[in-house]
Amino acid sequence: MAKKLIYLDSSVPSALFDARNPERQEHTRCFWETLRRYDVFISTLVFDELSCIGRAGVKRRDELLALIEGMSMYNITLDVKGLAEKYISGGIVARKHLDDMQHLACATVHGVDYVVSWNFRHMVKVHTRKMVNAINTLNDYDDIEIVAPIELDVPNLKM
């Protein structure tokens, strides 16, 4: 049986180091241990977002980049950009959140089964799921599932 394809946005590896939310950090740690069950993809956008040196500094950037080292990476192509623009013009989110829509479009264009994210504001929510898949249908793409790590089968999770 083929492994399911999953796309990780930058919120997932980032959550492994985010001590402000210990419960989310633990859920992410447990989820990270299950990655071998999937074919895992990121995009050049994820790489770019994790490469930015923020308040955490160079050490944290290097730790984040080490987490994604060796993962298969998709490019943000013209098809991806075009579909993300359709999500924006469809009213899913404001233009200032174009990067979030590019994550979803990248996963859609490449036929990924699950987009995994902790972004509940713009991505992991009913409105986004419905609208993205409606626009995907209109543009001859398959539906995608947008989920939080905790929504996938995560053994060893203490609830």
- The string of pLDDT tens digits covering residues 56-83 is 678 888 899 999 999 999 999 999 999 9
- Indicate if the pLDDT at residue 155 is higher than 70: no
The tokens describing 152, both together, are 């996938």
* Angstrom distances, CA of residue 44 to CA of 8, 22, 41: 11, 28, 10
- Indicate if the pLDDT at residue 154 is higher than 70: no
In the chain, % of residues over pLDDT 70: 93
pTM of model > 0.95: no
Q: Please compute the mean of the pLDDT values over residues 9-30 and round it to a whole number.
A: 93
Q: How far is CA 151 from the centre of its chain?
A: 13
pLDDT band at 1 (very low <50, low <70, confident <90, very high): confident
Residue 126's Cβ-count burial label (10 Å; 0-12, 13-18, 19+) is: exposed
What is the reported pLDDT for 52? 83
- The domains found in the chain, sorted by start residue, are 5-151 (3.40.50.1010)
For β-strands 72-74 and 114-116, DSSP reports them as unpaired
